[in-house]
Chains A and B, each alone.
Chain A
């Protein structure tokens, strides 16, 4: 596969250059690519594979293994709700159901420019239910806080 976007290839090559000499550089490279583009574009994979002397299938296998890497641009806003046990003990399921109903989507769904993602533990287990809203951590989430958060987005 050849890329039709010389700018994209140029940027990926810059990232590859920044990671020269690293031991096990693929995850840092993919993080940097996702940081630059918002996702890991298909066209980046053969460029990375050639540089690291891997097959495209191997690189694709790594990208698809990890939950963090997206193959499409992110939504304008991302709300990540913790689903883990400590947050469940404080009503995380109830709060998640409220958020799903409000947006009209299930996990991994998008509506009104908001993506709803599950997350398993943000390390805020003593002040749950926890969430990460566009990168900002929120503790002691309840239905009112969800309304306030989503109200500012949609």
Chain B
């Protein structure tokens, strides 16, 4: 009997370790031989811990499991009270296009053999047969853009690094996933770490870099240990090291852990932090592509960008760009979070509307109350009201509507949310996390909190002041922390003016 219990941090936080232990104990008690695989998450967080049992028909899913449900797994499976049917036939799975997350939840994350059985290493092998320029051309033609939030074309960034002349170049993976509502990087690192390793190795071949770093968060201890073990396994198997897959070409990498500073998700802060400095932002230019880690040409890409490269090299640019809409090509790993009925990770081609994502895929709120607002793109993203639910999920359409898709995290909030409080929180967060280098961010955030407090006390004259302050922060900040904090603030003010007028009306 082959049983799968996720090791994903969300599954563990919901009791997966206890369920796994109970399954082992029950099997021992009954004298049943089982193979227990700790897989990644399938992304259906509302069903975690989601246990699967391999059957002749396919893998059957059971969830959300508790230790009390374990004994029944050893009896008639179809009669199990938590039986959901075949995993692959669940509507959530059927509706997705899983390219980057194809293996996540399916394989044993640390089995290189299983990885290869599921198309793993095919992209890297093809890359080894191509010239560096051809690898970059393939990525450029795929239309892949930075999945961390900025949306910059990955192939163009790679070309800049490839053509730079230097004795040493680097691949730096930005795994500093600090945005609320985002957990795709964590899920991939825990559930399919070899995909990220393969993507980074391909990037190294493409630009002539022999060393890579994954910079991730201290808040992600499971991802850190999983990535570290996967790198050791890949090195022992010759996927990493002085001769990648026997090619004679070197590439190796290591994991580095941040120390609890949100701003280090900004690429230049990240590079400073990686060098052992304070995580302050650097002015650009020079671009990190030309003077990045230790002043050398450096590719800085998000986890999902790099993890999307193997499938592009394996299946070809034309296959990948066939998905999506307009200049937003390929797939995006949507992360449904907050007060949402069906929360989790849903990979799909660009182009669904926000309403389809929230109401249809997400099923509305978990509390059953009406959806009031959805924050798209993390703490620096705009709050969208229902009136804008027809916005297609693409980089361009969200920009046109005064927002951004960011890392595709969506925080759903019901009608009990107070948007003035959320605007205040955005500014408070910016004040806590500002690196302090530029004035609009360092001081603007503090003044912003005070100004929102004035509005809350009924001072309507503070509203134009807040608008003016946001303009200054947007135009004058060095990086996205100060520059984008106005998105949640101004969208709250623009779309939910009533929340900013309550006190004033009460006073009048």
Contacts and interface: CB of A to CB of B under 8 A. Distances in A.
Contact of B12 (A85, A126, A137): A137
Contact of A123 (B186, B340, B366, B411): B186
B261 A65 contact: yes
B366 A90 contact: yes
B339 to A, nearest CB: 4
B50 interface: no
Contacts of A85: 180-181, 338, 375, 379, 411, 422, 425
Which of B258, B260, B340, B425 has the most A CB atoms < 10 Å from its CB? B260
A88 B14 contact: no
Contact of B45 (A67, A89, A127): A127
B10 interface: yes
Given A65-B279, A89-B412, A126 B183 contact: yes
Interface in B232-277: 256-262, 273-277
B310 interface: no
Nearest to A25: B276
Nearest to B41: A126
B193 to A, nearest CB: 15
Contact of B411 (A24, A65, A86, A124): A86
B278 interface: yes
A68 B343 contact: no
Contact of B178 (A89, A121, A128, A130): A121
A12 interface: no
Contact of A61 (B261, B274, B278, B340): B278
B376 to A, nearest CB: 11
Contacts of A61: 278
Contacts of B256: 24, 27-28
Interface residues of B, number: 61
B48 interface: yes
Contacts of B345: 126
Interface string A51-69: 0100000000110011111
B141 to A, nearest CB: 33
A30 to B, nearest CB: 7
A123 B259 contact: no
Contacts of A31: 218, 257, 259
A26 interface: yes
Contact of A140 (B14, B181, B186, B294): B14
B260 A67 contact: yes
A138 interface: yes
A47 interface: no
Interface string A14-36: 00000000011111101100000
B5 to A, nearest CB: 16
Most buried by B among A61, A69, A88, A89: A89
Interface string B319-358: 0000000000000000111111001110000000000000
B433 A68 contact: no
A126 B259 contact: no
B399 interface: no
Contacts of A44: none
Interface string B157-187: 0000000000000000000011111110010
Nearest to A52: B276
A128 to B, nearest CB: 7
A26 B13 CA distance: 31
A126 B180 contact: no
Q: Which has the most chain A C-beta neighbours within 10 Å: B10, B262, B425?
A: B10
Contacts of A30: 259
Interface in A94-126: 119-126
Nearest to B383: A85
Contact of B339 (A23, A69, A89, A130): A89
B180 A121 contact: yes
Contacts of B275: 23-24
A35 B417 CA distance: 40
Contact of B9 (A26, A52, A120, A124): A124
A119 B433 CA distance: 12
B222 to A, nearest CB: 8
Contact of B276 (A26, A124, A137): A26
A126 B422 contact: no
A121 B219 contact: yes
B279 to A, nearest CB: 6
Contacts of A123: 9-10, 177, 182-183, 186, 219-220, 223
B257 to A, nearest CB: 6
Given A62-B276, A123-B10, A126-B10, A87 B180 contact: yes
A6 interface: no
A151 interface: no
B179 A126 contact: no
Nearest to B432: A120
Contacts of A126: 10, 45-46, 183, 335-337, 340, 343-345
Given A24-B275, A24-B294, A128 B338 contact: yes
Contacts of B182: 121, 123, 125
Contacts of A121: 177-180, 182, 219
Given A84-B379, A88-B425, A120-B180, A125 B259 contact: no
| Best-surrounded residue of A119, A137, A138 (most CB of chain B within 10 A) | A137
The 5 A-B pairs of least Cβ separation, nearest first, read: A26-B276, A126-B343, A84-B180, A66-B259, A125-B337
15 contacts: A23-B275, A23-B293, A23-B294, A62-B276, A65-B279, A66-B260, A66-B279, A85-B379, A85-B425, A87-B338, A120-B262, A121-B219, A126-B335, A126-B340, A132-B219
Given A65-B278, A67-B259, A140-B14, 10 more contacts: A23-B294, A27-B256, A68-B260, A84-B379, A85-B425, A124-B9, A125-B181, A125-B338, A126-B337, A128-B337
Interface of A: 23-28, 30-31, 52, 61-62, 65-69, 84-90, 119-128, 130, 132, 135, 137-140
